[in-house]
Structure 1
Amino acid sequence: MPRSVAWLLAITLAATWAVVTPPVADARPEPDPIVFVHGYSGGESNWSTMVKRFEAAGWDADRLVVWPYNWNQRNVTTARQLADEIARVRDVTGAEQVTLITHSMGGLSSRYYLSQLGGTEFVGTWVSLGGPNHGTNWAYGCWSPSCFDMRPGSALLAQLNDGPDPTPGPTEYATYWSRCDAVISPSDSTVLPGADNTHVGCVGHLELLWDRTTFDLVLDRVR
């Protein structure tokens, strides 16, 4: 067969193969949007490192929502505002559910949203980094309404913890805590029955926000 004919035949076969064999699309679903909820006296800057790492791991920037709120107010008020924010995020992104990543006191308002405001339908995974889930003695040193909620034995903590299931619904619950956390006292207050509770080693309270090992554990859970 003449070389020119063979070359033409090869091109024709390649073109035909391209038509009948479309490229295989990436079958992985887009990860849920993440809503970050800071703690007492915190703010948006708390999450800078973690947001950059999630972007590097493949999340679109518009699906990483750092939510600011008035941390002095009662956590029940914050929970109602969080419900509105999650509804907004779902509407904007088209996602059925979000992931909640919380630090410190942010775990309490988000737990109220889940257990009392029907949030388990809209949250696939809830993460607590150093949350005072059973209170902290540190809260006896501050005097805002939100601080009262964090005191051991508070009415809010009783509402969250004294029922039959402190981790209700189909939501996946995970906590990360450290015995070196000087703000959460006792340090194992973060641990919740029914959650996947992980001790991350000797990591400080604020350090939980940027510690690489803690982030890698959270990433493996939520992606």
Structure 2
Amino acid sequence: MTPRRREPAIAGVIAAAFLVVVSGAAGAAPTADQVPWRWWDGAAYQLMHGLADPPALNRDDCRPTAEHPHPVILVHGTGLNGGNSWATMGTALAAEGFCVWAPTVGAPGGSGSTGGLDSLTGASAPQLAAEIDRVRGLTGADRVDLVGHSQGAIVASFVAATVRADAVRTVVTLGADPAKSGEGPPEFVTAMLGVLSAETTRRDAEATLAWLGDEGVPFARGVRYVAVSSDYDELTGPVVAPIVPGWVDLQVVRLQDGCEADRSGHLTVLASPRAADLVADALVPAAALAEPGGAPAGSHPPRCVAADQMLGVLAPVPPR
């Protein structure tokens, strides 16, 4: 997404055309009116700021509050990174009082701006586990919440069920079918792109089978799962709740329930106001829920804003 060079004239055009993330005072949390509502805003911000992440993300000085006691770690999908994926969702969550981190995981060679292209077991999962440890150490939190998009949903679910089950409270997914998360990362990551060796691919496949466990489900006891899905997702299509054992705490939320005007697709769901509200509601402490599967007590309903599958938001976004 990043050009080889950034001409001043080109940068000026981009700055005028894109709604780039607006930062407040240094170190301050963003406000609701600073949330960018275009799915490309994160990439635009990085383009204009030397690949730096939008200011709402990765604030190591942020400390959880009694209202939002669990740090939130956002996990991007294939070929993306933390900054260009989560400008909208991260800023929206930070504006509501959450502490938000968005690492880049699975970048070939261990660094770079393009993630999700390396081994699940050799790169993405251990890197996410290390970020969980780091964030818990910074904040003193006993557990974190994970929000994953596309392949990031698989990585988050894998880590929550295997190497950090005792450190994860909630896993929220976007652009993923919970019935298929146990199949591991998309095959094209290992096959078509030819990034991984045959041995690494075999190791990842074996780890995926072990992840399913004796009962054959990619979920962990004691972890709450919320899958936000869109009927217009080009990769998943309509999603229904899979049949799972009774001990699995899983809720599938259809984006179009109550808002058929939101036709967000696989990428544009990252900037859907309704999706942002559903994710925020899923991350409130369990004690604040009005009823099982219900909205947080005293909260406002998720917004309903017209959105196109490819273009994203089509109308002004009202405050919640």
TM-score category, normalised to shorter length: 0.7 to 0.9
Query: Aligned in 2, Cα 1:163/1:111: closer, same or farther, shift over 3 Å?
Result: farther
Paired residues, number: 188
Matched position secondary structure for 1:175: strand
Task: Work out whether residues 37 and 68 of structure 1, in 8 Å CA contact, stay in contact via their aligned partners in 2.
Answer: yes
Partner residue in 1 for 2:13: none
Give ranges in structure 1 of 5+ residues lacking alignment. Answer: 1-26
2:118 is the alignment partner of 1:66: no
Question: More displaced, 163-172 or 44-53?
Answer: 163-172
Q: Residue 49 of structure 1 is aligned with which of 63, 73, 88? A: 88
Matched position secondary structure for 1:99: strand
TM-score, with structure 1 as normaliser: 0.72
Matched position secondary structure for 2:219: coil
Give me the whole-angstrom Cα distance separating, in 2, the residues matched to 1:130 and 1:39: 9
The within-5 A match list for 1:180-195 is 180-184=232-236, 187-188=238-239, 193=244, 194=248, 195=250
Deviation at 1:160, TM superposition (A): 3.7
Q: Residue 203 of structure 1 is aligned with which of 258, 264, 269? A: 264
Quick one: percent identity of the two aligned structures? 24
Query: Aligned in 2, Cα 1:191/1:174: closer, same or farther, shift over 3 Å?
Result: farther
2:226 is the alignment partner of 1:171: no
Q: Which has the higher helix share?
A: 1
Question: More displaced, 165-174 or 186-195?
Answer: 186-195
Partner residue in 1 for 2:306: none
Deviation at 1:159, TM superposition (A): 3.9
Opposite residue 146 of structure 2, the aligned amino acid is L
Question: More displaced, 156-165 or 120-129?
Answer: 156-165
2:181 is the alignment partner of 1:131: no
Q: Residue 88 of structure 1 is aligned with which of 134, 137, 149? A: 134
Q: Residue 71 of structure 2 is aligned with which of 33, 44, 64? A: 33
TM-score, with structure 2 as normaliser: 0.52
Opposite residue 217 of structure 1, the aligned amino acid is L
After superposition, the C-alpha distances for 1:35-74 in whole angstroms (9 at most, x for unaligned) are 1100101112210011111122122xxx211111211111
Give ranges in structure 2 of 5+ residues lacking alignment. Answer: 1-64, 108-115, 257-262, 285-320
